[in-house]
Amino acid sequence: MELNKFLVGVDTNYVLVMKQLDLSGHDENGRKVEPYEFFAQKGINSARIRLWVGEEGPSRLKYALETAKMAKEARMGILLVLFLSDKWADLYKQPAPEIWTNLNFDQKKEVIEDYARKVIERFKKENVEVSMYSIGNEINYGLCGVFAHDKKSRKRIEWLKNKIWSKIATFIKAGIRGIKTIDSNAKIMLHVAMIKPEFAKAFFKTMRDLDVDFDYVALSYYPMINGDTAYASLNTTIEAISEVLNSPIFIAEYAYPSSIPRGQFWFMNKQVPGYPFTPLGQKEWIKDFIRYCRKHPKINGAFYWSPEMYLEPSFIRKLPKEKVREITYDMPLNFGWSPMSLFNNNGIAKVSVNSFSSLD
């Protein structure tokens, strides 16, 4: 992945699980496709790879390596995300891996550094080059078991600085040391979910003040949470961050639906004006958003989240229960992402797969 070009990326970490369930993606004409090759043909040049702590199972080391190799074969660059958890970690939760839960703070710091070093050694041994590393995923309120569980406290910046951010900065620095022991030229990303501009500004300034050596800022951006018009909240957040940093910015996650979201993501139901929740509306929003990002002086790339995950909960219920349970433990598929997928419920590519190329 050349960091001097715009990164048109995807986060397609369900590909292997869906293969194991004999669920395929198909092009617009119904022909079966290999997802990474297919997306590369559509203009995608980079892949965001999710890594959970552990050797076996969804998103753990063997799984992440196999996923990264598929991306590499499709000539994509790789952004590796070290979650520092052994299951989902995001804005609402940041669990420590079960095998680390009894460690004290100093012990956890040491094991994080050792873990990061061993992961990068393994990727090197497998001849999988990583262009960027992200320490944690949506780490607004914590990382690796250090977390602001009280929602009221999450609004108190000074409390977060003293009780949460100062501690997770130690974990992040440990992870960076481990990475750079093996990859001395590693580029490091820190990723938060979009909250408020002043929050983002305070977070990244605090990380700088605590001597965290990172290169890039990353944000999650889902405009259908509030019907964001003309990227208003994103522009304001980038401006706020730029007051304290001069770092390039990436959109680590984004998506837009082709139908009304339901299920777990029902709240992502506010249409951006001019972009209806239809396949064509989805295509036009993605195309215009990528064009906006490429023209923005601060944004260096954007990664579409789970374009391959087209399963409706009702479809999951029709699959063999034991097989689903065996393959998808800790990484369920029934959260209703199909409106945001770039394949329809039959696995046929939507028109929106053609949003990424010919944008100059």
Rounded average pLDDT over 168-184: 98
Average pLDDT, the chain: 95
First to last CA, the chain: 19
pLDDT at residue number 312: 86
| Residues in a beta bridge with 221 | 254
How many other β-carbons are positioned within 10 Å of the β-carbon of residue 295? 11
Predicted confidence at residue 360, as pLDDT, reads 47
Q: Is the pLDDT of residue 243 over 90?
A: yes
Please give the pLDDT value at position 4.
67
- For the residues 136-147, what does the mean pLDDT come to? 98
In 183-220, where does DSSP find H-type helix?
Answer: 197-209
Domain 7-355: top CATH class: alpha beta
**Residue 283: closest CA among 192, 349, 336, 208:** 349
Confidence category of residue 326, pLDDT binned at 50, 70, 90: confident
* Highest mean pLDDT (candidates 170-174, 193-197, 330-334): 170-174
pLDDT for 319 beyond 70: yes
How many Cα neighbours within 13 Å face the side chain of 351?
A: 10
Q: What are phi and psi of 265, to 5 degrees?
A: -110, 35
User: What is the structure's pLDDT at 147?
Assistant: 98
In this structure, is the dihedral angle defined by the CA atoms of residues 82, 85, 90 and 94, taken in order, positive or negative? negative
Average pLDDT rounded to a whole number, residues 286-302: 97
Q: Residue by residue, what is the 3-state secondary structure of 7-72?
A: EEEEECCCHHHHHHCCCCEECCCCCEECHHHHHHHCCCCEEEEEECCCCCCCCCHHHHHHHHHHHH
Angle value at C-alpha 226, between 199 and 350, nearest 5 degrees: 120
Determine the longest span between alpha carbons in the chain, in angstroms.
56
- Rounded to 5°, angle at Cα 285 from 194 and 190: 25
| Of 360 and 116, the one with more pLDDT | 116
CB atoms within 10 A of CB 201: 19
| pLDDT for residue 2 is more than 80 | no
Confidence label for 358 from pLDDT (cuts 50, 70 and 90): low
Q: How confident is the model at residue 320 (pLDDT cuts 50, 70, 90)?
A: confident
**Average confidence (pLDDT) over 260-279:** 95
Asked if the model's pLDDT at residue 3 lies above 90, the reply is: no
Strands 25-26, 216-221: pairing kind: unpaired
* Confidence check: pLDDT of 329 > 80: no
In this model, does residue 1 exceed pLDDT 60? no
Please report the pLDDT score of residue 333 as a whole number: 87
Q: Average of pLDDT values for 243-269?
A: 96
Place of tokens 């997770």: 168
Q: How far is CA 274 from the centre of its chain?
A: 27
Interval 50-63 mean pLDDT: 97
CB-side neighbour CA atoms (13 Å) of 105: 9
Which pLDDT tens digit goes with each residue over 87-135? Answer: 999 999 999 999 999 999 999 999 999 999 999 999 999 999 999 999 9
